[in-house]
Structure 1
Amino acid sequence: MYGYISTLIEIYTYMIIAYVLLSWLPAARDSFIGEILGKLVEPYLSIFRRFIPPIGGMIDISPIVALIAIRFVGEGIVAVLQMVFR
């Protein structure tokens, strides 16, 4: 059970990284994969973009904070489930 949660978090992490890398190629976000990743990742990233402004107006660090947060929350969920179901 814990492995499934960790795997899902890892997959979502890779999706965020892929979406950020696609942002470097303007036409890539308009592709089929770019649109799917946008629909899956953008709602999560928008939470952080509301509170974290871009540095210098150009550099968006919200994906970094989002990755740290998802790892932290995921590890917390796994730890709580391990305590409950022991």
Structure 2
Amino acid sequence: MSLERIINVAFQVYAWLIFIRIILSFIRHNPYQPLIRFVYEITEPVLGFFRRFIPPVGMLDFSPLVAFFALELLRQIILNVIRALGL
């Protein structure tokens, strides 16, 4: 498996975890369930970072949307560097 493919898969998995976190915000769940705790622990560092700059508007939290754009931008930058280095 190429380095480019590994990076793409890693970013896709993280994007899906953020999406799952969004879905969890709309349904009642047990926050102590291990799988749900895992999703929160993995996504909170990124979402918390963006929440510091983009406060919720009413009941809407735009940090996941900004995180999606930032992750895509970061993925493109990393892939361009890898391609430029010929890895």
* CA offsets 1:30-78 (integer angstroms, 9 cap, x no match): 43221110011111110000000111x2100110000110011011100
Give the structure 1 partner of residue 67 of structure 2. 66
Question: What is the TM-score of this pair, normalised by structure 1?
Answer: 0.90
Q: CA deviation at 1:85?
A: 1.5
The answer (yes or no) to whether the contact 1:22–1:28 under 8 Å persists in 2 is no
Structure 1 runs not aligned, ≥5 long: none
The alignment covers a number of residue pairs equal to: 85
Length-normalised TM-score, structure 2: 0.89
Work out whether 1:54 is the aligned partner of 2:56. Answer: yes
Percent identity among equivalent residues? Answer: 29
RMSD: 1.3
Which position in structure 2 is the counterpart of 1:21? Answer: 23
| Gap regions ≥5 residues in structure 2 | none
Runs of 4+ displaced beyond 2 Å: 28-32
